Amino acid sequence: MRLGRTLIIIAVLLIVVLGLVYLATTFFGIGGDSVDTAATAAAQTLRTVVALSQPASAGDLITTDMLITTEIQANEYNDLMFIDKAQIVGLYARSNYEFGQILSSTMMLTDPTQLLDELHSGHAAIIPAGMVAIEIPISRFSGMAYGLTQGDRVNVIGTMSFVDLDTQYQTILPNYLAGVVAPGENLIATTNTSGLEDGATVNTQITSGEGTIDNLVAQTASGDRISIEGRAELDTLLNVPIYIVPSEQGQRPRFVSQTVLFNRVILHVGNFPLLDSQGNLIPLDDLEPVVEEVPEGEEPPPPEVPDQPDIITLVVTPQEAVTLNYMLYAGVELTLALRPPGDVDTAPTDAVDLQYMMNVYRIPLPAQLPYGFEPPSYELKEPVLLNDIP
């Protein structure tokens, strides 16, 4: 009993002492004045720093007349600030600064050409080192029906056509033939068109005697379709040589498709926004749309369809950029194939041409049969459905 009473007395005394301490510090400020006084004294301590006496633009040389000294609270000072004008004279402004701007070492450059490494667009900053960005045109078909966006990864498929050329002239085969008239006395070839109607055969006559000319130099004479270079073959039925010329004006191109780039990231779709030298967006003029009054009884015009992107920017290697540039100017058709995220497979693909299609997909060459469809069909036509009829 005596021990318990003693503990209760001690607890009461502790509570009374703590209450007195709380009242003294809260209402009378006992023990807190020294702390507040020290903090106030530290806040009222001033430091001298260097600031601008006039605005400065990026790349400007800092001179003495552009500087002033000013005082700031000590708790606002940091070691990067300048405290002496001599420390900053001869340096260059890294960016545009206003009057009164307090200067620090991170705001200055020792060489103005360093700005070339710092002044760049935001999209240039996200291109990996060793890579470049290049743009290619797209359409609704070649651009995944406009389903591409920044950060997507794509394969680039190139489709091109080939024809045979004369290696010396670099012109498409077959060549045209021409006759050479040697210098000296030669016959004259004349054409008799009198009394002929449209579509009639033109008669060519060779005259002599009075119909001769004296050529001083060699001359060439050539026609059009009749002078196409052909080839000689032996007719198996008559056993006589014949001369065969092409039935079409030029060659039929031979097409081939192949994946030329794998797993390339898209930097941007469409045109980039226009930015000023500080990287700020240049706003377009807010023009009020012109609303034309529709005469009574007439239907209003259909709403304007927003412009679809016609260009896309890819991140590629420098060599791939040169390759894409060549293919664009050579007329190669480029198609983008979207890849799933995280897929890094770059297994090579097989080039596809007509022979590949027939061999791999087991497409037979149609036989020459003694019967066919009526009416004949000379080109592929899509079927017309009921909903397609206007």
Per-residue pLDDT of the chain (390 residues; tens, 9 = 90+): 555 666 677 766 777 767 776 666 655 554 445 445 555 555 568 899 999 999 998 889 999 999 999 999 888 899 999 999 999 999 999 888 999 999 999 999 998 888 877 777 778 888 999 999 999 999 999 999 999 999 999 999 999 999 999 999 999 999 888 877 777 776 655 555 555 555 455 454 455 445 566 666 666 666 666 688 888 999 999 999 998 888 888 899 999 999 999 999 999 999 888 766 655 666 655 444 555 676 777 777 766 656 789 999 999 999 999 999 999 999 999 999 999 998 988 889 999 999 999 999 999 999 999 999 898 888 888 888 877 766
Please check whether residue 195 lies inside any domain of the structure.
no
Please check whether residue 123 lies inside any domain of the structure.
no
Q: Measured between alpha carbons, how far is 316 from 119 in angstroms, rounded to an integer?
A: 22
Same domain, 138 and 96: no
Instruction: Answer for the pair 136, 324: CB distance below 8 angstroms, yes or no.
Output: yes
Q: What is the DSSP string of 334-354?
A: EEEEE--TT---------B-H
Domain extent, residue 10, equals 2-31
Same domain, 107 and 144: no
What's the pTM? Answer: 0.65
Please check whether residue 179 lies inside any domain of the structure.
no
Same domain, 57 and 84: yes
Q: What is the DSSP string of 67-112?
A: EEEEEEEGGG--TTB--SGGGTTT-EESS-B-TTPBPBGGGEESSG
Same domain, 317 and 358: yes
Q: Which residues of 279-297 are buried (b: 16+ CB within 10 A; e: fewer)?
A: eeeeeeeeeeeeeeeeeee
Please check whether residue 151 lies inside any domain of the structure.
yes
Please check whether residue 387 lies inside any domain of the structure.
yes
Residue showing tokens 């510090």:
25
- Start-to-end CA distance of the chain, whole Å, equals 109
Same domain, 103 and 138: no
Same domain, 390 and 324: yes
What pLDDT, on a 0 to 100 scale, did the predictor assign at position 287? 41
Same domain, 257 and 352: yes
Please check whether residue 191 lies inside any domain of the structure.
no
* Residue 13 identity: L
Instruction: Answer for the pair 81, 104: CB distance below 8 angstroms, yes or no.
Output: yes
Q: Which residues of 225-258 are buried (b: 16+ CB within 10 A; e: fewer)?
A: eeebeeeeeeeeeeeeeeeeeeeeeeeeeeebbe
* Residue 115 identity: L
Please check whether residue 193 lies inside any domain of the structure.
no
Same domain, 79 and 159: no
Instruction: Answer for the pair 348, 258: CB distance below 8 angstroms, yes or no.
Output: no
Please check whether residue 325 lies inside any domain of the structure.
yes
Same domain, 373 and 276: yes
Q: How many CB atoms are located within 10 Å of the residue 168 CB?
A: 6
Q: Measured between alpha carbons, how far is 312 from 347 in angstroms, rounded to an integer?
A: 24
Same domain, 333 and 364: yes
Same domain, 111 and 143: no
Same domain, 155 and 27: no
What pLDDT, on a 0 to 100 scale, did the predictor assign at position 92? 93
Q: What is the CATH number of the domain that holds 50?
A: 3.90.1210.10
